A and B are shown apart, each in its own frame.
Chain A
Amino acid sequence: MNLVRAELERLAARRFVQLMVVLLAVAFAVTVVTTLGGSHRPSAVELSRAQSQAAQEVQRLELAHDRCVQIKAGTVTPDENDYVPRDCAQIDPARSEQLPTASDYLSGVFVFAKEAEPLLYFLIAFLALFGFLVGASYIGADLNSGGVVNLLLWRPRRPTVFAAKLGTLLGGVLGLSALASVAYLGAFWLIGQASGLTGRMGGEFWASLGAVWVRGLVLVLLAAALGFAMATLGRHTSAALGTVAAYVVVWELGARLVFQILQVARPDRFMLSSYLGAWLAGEVRFWDDSACGAGISGFCDGSYTLGWPSGLVVLVALTGALVAAAFAVFRRRDLI
């Protein structure tokens, strides 16, 4: 426990960590100020007009659905402006997940329910970057400067020191991320209350936002562990940064290009970014060029999806393997 306490204090006292926290605060402040400056509380007239526009749009959707059903039944002849899908349920407003609301027709008004998710994605991206960089520099600088040697002279149990450092890192990053995201969303909810609209925030909204938040926090922890493991293996912070840069250039860009030239089916399956997106968004849909080739007539759905479970499995397996390798190397390495 003493070791964790000391490590937590060392982590918090690191210049790089402090700099990243300041950057987060600056980004936070800039976003809040610009949002506040660009939003106003809608007047009764604006609100009424927007509600009316939303109602009209819903009505138009209902009419389009009714007409689709009638066309399918053969009671109405379709004209060139009609959109008739294979199943009219696809355009049934009653089944639609997102019906037009008044907030869609308000200009210059911040609506929390509409903006919360993109804002949260931005925060998660920042925190994931923060976690990776802090994780890498925390152990990388210590290995390089002799800090680990100092610590091992005091606590000559390498597994304990490794676990304490990783645990402290993950705990610290999780605590900061949780606090930052609550403060961040709380501030924008207040802006919605005071200078905009909070929007429709039912149970479904909170469940969806909560799922993104939890998945985001897991991603931040995985990024921190990944940075820590890579820097441990490479004995330097730059080893982690270099590995990621090399991966992006060689595999995500280079190999993707080669796959395209060789017309490999579903190349996105081989890219880490696909699983990252699948985990964060819950599901991602890709188009398979080879699915609807020659010999197929009529409608062909060449898309395929990757869901969050496969994203989680790939990300956890990769991170777990690298952390295990880092642990094994750290246990046996000569510290000279």
Chain B
Amino acid sequence: MSAVIEIAGLRKTFHTLRQGRRVAVDGFDMLVEAGQVHGFLGPNGSGKTTTLRALLGLVRADSGRMRVLGADSPERLPEVAGRVGAIVESPQFFGNFTAHRTLRLLAVAGGVPTGRVDEVLEQVGLRERGEERVKGYSLGMKQRLAVASALLKNPELLILDEPANGLDPAGIREMRDLTRSLAASGVTVLLSSHILAEIQLICDHVTIVSRGRRVAYGRVDEVLAGFDQHQWQVRVAEPERAAQLLGRAGLSVTGQAEHLVVTGVENPETISRTLGEQGLWVRELIPLRPDLESVFLELTGGHGPVAVPRQVDGAPAHDGVIDLDVSDGREVDA
């Protein structure tokens, strides 16, 4: 498969009078191939939006190499801009314009046939409300309009930064279906979101960023498999005796209130045979697979003490180390 987005060694530092120098992206790498629905995950302030802005030429990178649809960005971005639809954070639109007019002006500016406006309004579910002024729209409707503006170009690559922001559950489901149908039609989608369950449902690949650096990437199932501890939840009539038997068989067992958790067992047959041979019959045997949320939280230092509010991802990472210090109180806005 050909690379649609390639980022290598991207670095961006912001300098402000009040906060001084702050590294937003620190040697970040990313590869998105054609046809993928690629999730882009990271805590607040980890550099997701800065990365997308740099990729789209809105922010000047300090160093690094970026390519979009084979063209160096930002130098040759204009050559491929007509094939890339993007929304970055929550785009603002003129409140006094209707959605239809907003999209028509974008279409005119971009040389897209204005007949496409009605199609995308239909696609995002705003057909009936297209002639209303944007200032009367809810956050979710504005988000739909933003997605419509990204779809206007009939893009080969769609970059969506938090597209589910402000959407109700039905809207989130519609957005999921829309993303799937676009992916099915061959559009490559890069999706940044905080809703991890959505990413897991929609995306086939994922890149996780923390403190400006990539900390995990690959197929979603492979990333999850990398964190699979082969744990099993076991329910039996005599848990204490069962724990002793499994322990004698060399298995790692931890006791819970109503069940046992056995770790490091690839084949569950080992558990049922060990217990069955001693007359203990397994009532329940459930695999404990990692989900994206647990992986994300582990990678990004999100497993903080319950009583301490977790702070946003502000400081640059050290080489190969995932900093789990959650008491850093600095606030960032990138």
Tell me whether A147 is interfacial, beta carbon within 8 Å.
yes
- Could you say which interface size class chain B belongs to? 20 to 34
Q: Name the one of A147, A155, A332, A335 contacting B92, with C-beta atoms under 8 angstroms.
A: A147
Interface residues of B in 226-261 (CB under 8 A from A): none
Using a CB-CB cutoff of 8 Å, which residues 21-68 of chain A contact chain B? none
- State which residues 29-74 of B face A: CB under 8 Å: 50, 53, 56-60, 74
**Interface 1/0 per residue, B61-100 and A, CB below 8 Å:** 0000000000000100110010000101001111011000
Q: Is the CB of B56 within 8 A of A154?
A: no
C-alpha spacing A29/B296, complex, angstroms: 67
Is B109 on the interface with A (CB-CB < 8 A)?
A: yes
Chain B CB within 8 A of A73 CB? no
CB-based contact A154/B92 at 8 Å: no
Selected from A9, A146, A147, A156, the residue in CB contact (under 8 A) with B77 is A156
**Chain A CB within 8 A of B176 CB:** no
Q: Is A200 an interface residue (CB 8 A)?
A: no
Please report the C-alpha to C-alpha distance between residue A153 and residue B108 in the assembled complex, in whole angstroms.
Answer: 14
B115 interface residue, CB < 8 Å from A?
Answer: no
Is B110 engaged at the interface, CB distance under 8 Å to the other chain? yes
A336 vs B91: C-alpha distance in the bound complex, in angstroms? 11
B110 near A150: Cβ-Cβ < 8 Å: no
Q: How long is the Cα–Cα vector from A15 to B92 in the complex, in angstroms?
A: 17
Closest to A15 in B: B96
Taking CB atoms and an 8 Å cut-off, the chain B residues in 313-334 that contact chain A are 333-334
Most buried by A among B58, B81, B96, B334: B58
Q: Judging by beta carbons under 8 Å apart, are B93 and A150 in contact?
A: yes
| Contact (Cβ within 8 A) B111 A157 | no
Q: Is the CB of B57 within 8 A of A156?
A: yes
Query: Taking chain B's interface residues, is the majority helix, strand, or loop, or is none over half, making it mixed?
Result: loop
Interface size on A, residues (CB 8 A): 26
Contact digits for B97-124, partner A, Cβ 8 Å, 1 yes 0 no: 1000100011011110000000000000
Verify A9–B78 contact, CB threshold 8 A.
no
A6→B104 CA distance, assembly (Å): 9
Asked whether A146 and B91 contact (CB < 8 A) given A13-B97, A155-B78, A157-B78, the answer is: yes
Docked pose: A21 CA to B108 CA in angstroms = 25
If A155-B81, A335-B58 touch, does A2 touch B91 (CB 8 Å cutoff)?
no
**Chain A, interface SS category:** helix
Asked if A3 is at the interface of the complex by the 8 Å CB criterion, the answer is yes
- Known contacts A2-B111, A15-B96, A155-B81; decide if A149 and B105 are in contact (CB<8 Å): no
Is B193 among interface residues, defined by CB-CB distance under 8 A? no
**Chain B nearest CB: distance from A150 CB in Å?**
6
Which residues of the other chain, B, contact A2 by a CB distance below 8 angstroms?
Answer: 108-111
> Would you call B149 an interface residue if the criterion is a C-beta within 8 Å of the partner chain's C-beta atoms?
yes
Which residue in chain B gives the minimum CB-CB distance to A152? B58
For A7, the chain B residues whose CB sits under 8 A away are 109
Contacts of A336 in B (CB 8 A): 14, 50, 53, 58-59, 333-334
Neighbouring B residues of A3 by C-beta, 8 Å = 109
**A156-B74 in contact given A2-B109, A335-B59, A336-B53 (Cβ < 8 Å):** yes
Most buried by A among B50, B91, B108, B153: B108
The verdict on A10 contacting chain B, using a C-beta distance below 8 Å, is: yes
Residues of A within 8 A of B92 (CB): 145-147, 150
Cβ contacts A122-154/B at 8 Å (1 or 0 each): 000000000000000000000001110111111
Q: What chain B residues lie within 8 Å of A332 (beta carbons)?
A: 60
Query: Across the interface, which residues of B come within 8 angstroms of A145, CB to CB?
Result: 92, 94
Give the shortest distance, in Å, between B272 (CB) and chain A (any CB): 57
Measured CA separation A259–B105 after assembly (Å): 52
Cβ A151 vs Cβ B88 within 8 A: no
CB of A151 within 8 A of CB of B59, answer no
Please name all residues of chain A whose beta carbon is closer than 8 Å to the beta carbon of B77 when the two chains form the complex.
156
Residues of B within 8 A of A334 (CB): 14, 53, 58-60
Q: How far is the CA of A335 from the CA of B60 in the complex (A)?
A: 9
Chain A nearest CB from B171 CB (Å) reads 21
- B319 → A minimal CB distance (Å): 26
The answer to whether A154 and B334 touch (CB under 8 A), given A15-B96, A147-B92, A334-B14, is: no
| Supplied contacts A13-B96, A14-B96, A334-B53, 19 more A-B pairs, CB within 8 Å | A2-B108, A6-B105, A10-B105, A13-B94, A14-B94, A15-B96, A145-B92, A146-B91, A154-B81, A154-B106, A155-B81, A156-B56, A156-B57, A156-B81, A334-B60, A335-B53, A335-B58, A336-B58, A336-B334
What are 19 sample pairs from A and B whose C-beta atoms fall under 8 A apart? A2-B108, A2-B109, A2-B110, A2-B111, A5-B108, A7-B109, A14-B94, A15-B96, A150-B91, A153-B88, A156-B57, A156-B78, A334-B53, A334-B59, A336-B14, A336-B50, A336-B59, A336-B333, A336-B334
